[in-house]
Amino acid sequence: MKPWQHFLTITRHRHAVLAGCFRVGLYWQGLTHDLSKYSPVEFWNGAKYFQGTRSPNVAEREDRGYSLAWMHHKGRNRHHFEYWTDIDPRTRRYGPVPMPRKYLVEMAMDRRAACMIYQGKNYTDASALEYFLKSKDRIEMHPQTQRELEYILTMLRDAGEAETFRYLRESVLKGKPFPWEEVTPA
């Protein structure tokens, strides 16, 4: 059990997300990001499986075959694409639905911050995209959300934080179309 190290890690992560969210104008999301990580089921499982270089949920999943902490977390935090599933009225099966933009942006901040915390001095603006691309083919994210997230993380890699955060603040969060959604006049 490593409760102090886990507490410091999740708090550093929250503060990194808060700083990013504040820079793009998502004040409420920044303030409330990942508060469920301090709940007993998430905190104590995180402390038990803490390693410092990856999510304790992965280690818990390897040990138990599932992660109680993750199941609790994803059901309470709208910045995770796994939260955004529902029953399709046509197929009557569960499937992903598009994420609202404010949660999409928070998800990008979350992924950036997780890479910053776990990679430390090895973090670069390409880290979040690289991590995303490793799992892209195995996850069940709505195609629209996946395309938007990949575009944002690619912009972070290619244009850097300042330009990406400006784009998120001035375009994405204002509901402006992504480049592929641009309508050309007839």
Angstrom distance (rounded) from CA 39 to CA 173: 30
Over the stretch 118-163, which tens digit does the pLDDT of each residue have? 999 999 999 999 999 999 999 999 999 999 999 999 999 999 999 9
Residue 61, both tokens: 């999943």
The per-residue pLDDT for 54 is: 87
Q: Is the pLDDT of residue 186 over 80?
A: no
Over the stretch 10-21, which tens digit does the pLDDT of each residue have? 999 999 999 999
Residue 161, both tokens: 């934080």
Q: Is the pLDDT of residue 183 over 80?
A: no
SS (H, E, C) the chain: CCHHHHHHHHHHHHHHHHHHHHHHCCHHHHHHCCHHHHCHHHHHHHHHCCCCCCCHHHHHHHHHCCCHHHHHHHCCCCCCHHHCEEECCCCCCEEECCCCHHHHHHHHHHHHHHHHHHHHHHCCCCHHHHHHHHHCCCCCCCHHHHHHHHHHHHHHHHHHHHHHHHHHHHHHCCCCCCHHHCCCCC
State what percent of residues in the chain have pLDDT above 70: 98
